[in-house]
Amino acid sequence: MTNYADSTVTAVHATTGVTTTYPSPGGPDGITFDGASLWIANYDAGSVTKMLPATGAIAGTFPVGMHATTTHPRLLASDGAHVWVTNFGENTVEKLLVTTGASLGSYPVASPYAIAFDGANVWVTNATANTVTKLLGSTGAVLGTYPAGNKPNGIAFDGTHVWISDQVVASGTGAPGTVTKLLAATGAVEGTFEVGQRPQWVASDGRYVWVTNGSDGTVSRCAF
């Protein structure tokens, strides 16, 4: 997990719960795993860091975006060969080679925030546009932009569908939030479902989708 306030990353042993914390300078935000290394978005520094999970050693730090102070990389996803980074401050998504950290392309996307890979394409929530954008993984070409609730935040792929948390629903009223389910092949909305208040992050375990609800201290479980 990333600890923004003190610029560290903490590893939690899955069996014992023992924690180990490593420095990760630059205001760490999002984190992903490429199958061998961890990648961390440095929100304040306009860069991403590649870290070896066995030791916490930094294998490299690579700039993203055009300007270090305004790029504000937020979240990441890996397709195994590449890491994709949302540069929230510059309205782009950037594709990096996992072996070297080299940038292979930067693609315009409105207010990009969370990001997920579906096996062929990259999906990005557009936090202020109330949409989600689908990019072709091989080229970064935009395949479509689809409605996705009010202030879409987290995103996950369940093998067939993309699930998006709609963070703001009747803000301040205590009303439940929602998640939107899209068919990944077409972007068609297949349903909107109530969860807890101000849902944020979404994950799939292969059978259910799990949603953290930031304002009421709960987690919701949704069946496919």
Q: Which domains can be identified in the chain, with CATH numbers?
A: 2-169+185-191 (2.130.10.10)
Q: In the prediction, which pLDDT does 35 show?
A: 96
DSSP 182-206: EETTT--EEEEEE-SSSEEEEEE-S
Rounded Cα gap, residues 28 and 3, in angstroms: 6
- Write the DSSP string, 42-98: ETTTTEEEEE-TTT--EEEEEE-SS-TTT--EEEEEE-SSEEEEEEGGGTEEEEEET
Q: What is the pLDDT of residue 173?
A: 61
What DSSP designation does 162 have?
E
pLDDT of residue 68: 87
Tokens of 119: 């096996």
Distance CA 185, CA 155 (A): 16
Query: CA-based angle 160:122:5, to the nearest 5?
Result: 110
The SS3 call for residue 6 is helix
Strand 8-12 relative to strand 2-3, pairing: antiparallel
Closest C-alpha to 103, from 66, 134, 155: 66
Given this model, what pLDDT does residue 46 score? 96
pTM: 0.93
The four Cα atoms 28, 210, 186, 96 give a dihedral, to 10 degrees, of 20
What string of pLDDT tens digits covers the 224 residues of the chain?
999 999 999 999 999 999 999 999 899 999 999 999 999 999 999 999 999 999 999 999 999 999 988 999 999 999 999 999 999 999 999 999 999 999 999 999 999 999 999 999 999 999 889 999 999 999 999 999 999 988 899 999 999 999 999 987 555 566 788 999 999 999 999 999 999 999 999 999 999 999 999 888 999 999 88
pLDDT for residue 1: 92
The pLDDT of residue 73: 97
